[in-house]
Chains A and B, each alone.
Chain A
Amino acid sequence: MNPEHAPLIEMKNIEKHFGSVIALNGVSLEIYPGECHCLLGDNGAGKSTFIKTMSGVHKPTRGEILFEGKPMHFEDPRDAITAGIATVYQDLAMIPLMSVSRNFFMGNEPEKKFGPFKLFDHAYANEITMQEMRKMGINLRGPDQAVGTLSGGERQTVAIARAVHFGAKVLILDEPTSALGVRQTANVLATIDKVRKDGIAVVFITHNVRHALAVGDRFTVLNRGKTLGTAQRGQITPDELQDLMAGGQEMVALESSLGGTV
């Protein structure tokens, strides 16, 4: 994180109510270019609601979103994508039956003129796909290989590469590692590291403290719709993070009975 940079996104006192349920009760957060900001919290802490507010799926009930210093009002996810906020969802990133290149350009198809028609430029799409996949360290048999043949980690990586290629300034990753094995998780974390070094802000949602500490620059913990504070890298130990996430007390008791394995 470079302090001389202005924050890319500022979320100020975001509240979100669903009927009588208060999902978010005044959450504030700044995200800087080139940082990996980990958003931690247990199930039901409001992580998903918070990032959906950031990516335009939900409108905040109260509070303000500043993007590059200007107030933003996203009507739908499309607005957020256009502004440069891309979200990669855990299991909804890719369509298994379609080829990698068709997936990669889904919604952003390149076109070339052919007489009066506009054609999907397959040659260009295939070339770019192979190039981007090589950069991310994925070796495809060919651009027409179906996404279904890729592993879960590779699918996440393709989705991240896609968002970066189409000019994302902020990349929101919703629990990208929660369903993955050790090696695949390592791949995804390496991808996050690579993307961050290109100056893209990464918002990494997880409830795995070790994954967060592996790549995070700053850590914000949500609990019951509120922020419990943001910590810098090196200022917090894994145990402290774990306790914050679980809400302190009961975790200590539980952990001792489990012999410190959680």
Chain B
Amino acid sequence: MSDMADAPASDERIKQTSALRKALIRPELGGICGTVIVFVLFAIFAGDSGMFNSQGILNWSIVSAQFMIIAVGACLLMIAGEFDLSVGSMIGFAGMMIAIFSITLGWPVWQAILVTFALCVAIGALNGIIVVRTGLPSFIVTLAFLFILRGFTIYLPQLIERKTIIGGIDKAAEGDWLAALFGGKILKGLFAWLGDAGIIAVFERGNRAGQPVVDGIPMLIVWALMLVAFGHFVLTRTKFGNWIFASGGDAQAARYVGVPVNRVKILMFMFTAFCATVFATCQVMEFGSAGADRGLLKEFEAIIAVVIGGALLTGGYGSVIGAALGALIFGVVQQGLFFANVESSLFRVFLGVILLFAVVLNTYIRRMITGER
């Protein structure tokens, strides 16, 4: 007994792993490979279609940023061991609430946005509390909210305004300080300079002649990058991040060592709702209207992006950077098919195929990590 305890110089049965293999075993592997493949493919097949000039880049960046915002929330929640299927309905609901508060009730837009955030985050908390208290699968609980929220989103505007789309928010939001945080653009000076310097395209005629076609970075993209950075930081660098992993890895084992698992899970449901509301607010500010059908199927797209990013559906393992890459792949492919003149319904085929690939790859990576056979 004592000889093996005292002299653990090296274990001949643990194979030395190469640095390459070690670098490969990480949740982001699938996302990194996918991103490279997608960019190479579209550079070949759509390189001269305008996909990679300033408007083209902005085009797929915006779509990717939309996916990213909801993927960050879904990623942290999935690592904490739960799902939220109500994300898409939450997007529709949040947008509709902003419209009803600001247009029908005539509140200032900043107030409408703040109250909507509070309301939606509270619904997220309710989701979480029901899941934690009843011990039911979050799959079922949030499926119920998928229908409940979508139902209200269709019912309320019809009841109040006798229509399913409420417009005019762009006018109401003019000069509003908070609305600018969601609908504005930054770095306009830089883009004007780039336009003048001939690096990016400018309008050739019309009343905006000489101004750059792309005149700034939309706040949507800023939000996406901030949320990704925030999520990655919390997950990998803080105590709370360790609790997220522990809650999803094995809730009971985590409880035994004093991790407040229930609080972690409820907070993650609230964060997911927050991300959905950010998405909704940016969308409402961009379109100037709220529609009852906004956000359809977004919950699945978020989950797929997260899975492509290497997270396990069973929780306890994943990466926010990976989820962001998954979202980027989505955005590039969805818009790239358009640039490459491919029938856009094929995007769904792509989604299904890549989801299958991602899950198979993830299972393989997990086996390598845990050494199970």
Contacts and interface: CB of A to CB of B under 8 A. Distances in A.
A146 B242 contact: no
Contacts of A136: 5
Interface string A131-161: 0001011110100001011000000000000
Interface string B9-28: 11100100100000000000
B238 interface: yes
Contacts of A102: 242, 245-246
Contact of B242 (A78, A94, A109, A139): A109
A105 B242 contact: yes
A81 interface: yes
Interface string A106-144: 111101000001111010000000000010111101000
A148 B372 contact: yes
B205 interface: no
Nearest to A57: B256
Interface in A70-102: 77-78, 81, 87, 89, 92-98, 102
Contacts of B14: 139, 141
Contacts of B250: 92, 95
A89 B10 contact: no
A94 B245 CA distance: 12
B259 interface: yes
For chain B, give the interface size range.
35 or more
B5 A95 contact: no
A16 to B, nearest CB: 20
Interface stretch (A2-10, A183-191, A245-253): A183-191
B246 A106 contact: yes
A98 B238 contact: no
A98 B371 CA distance: 13
B258 interface: yes
Contact of A137 (B8, B238, B254, B372): B8
Contacts of A187: 1, 4-5
B254 to A, nearest CB: 7
Contact of A190 (B1, B242, B258): B1
Given A81-B258, A137-B6, A98 B239 contact: no
Interface in B214-262: 237-239, 241-242, 245-246, 249-250, 252-259
A95 B2 contact: no
Interface of A: 77-78, 81, 87, 89, 92-98, 102, 105-109, 111, 117-120, 122, 134, 136-139, 141, 146, 148-149, 162, 186-187, 189-190, 194
Given A98-B245, A111-B239, A149-B369, 15 more contacts: A94-B253, A95-B245, A95-B249, A96-B249, A97-B369, A109-B239, A118-B239, A119-B238, A120-B238, A138-B8, A139-B14, A146-B370, A148-B369, A149-B371, A186-B1
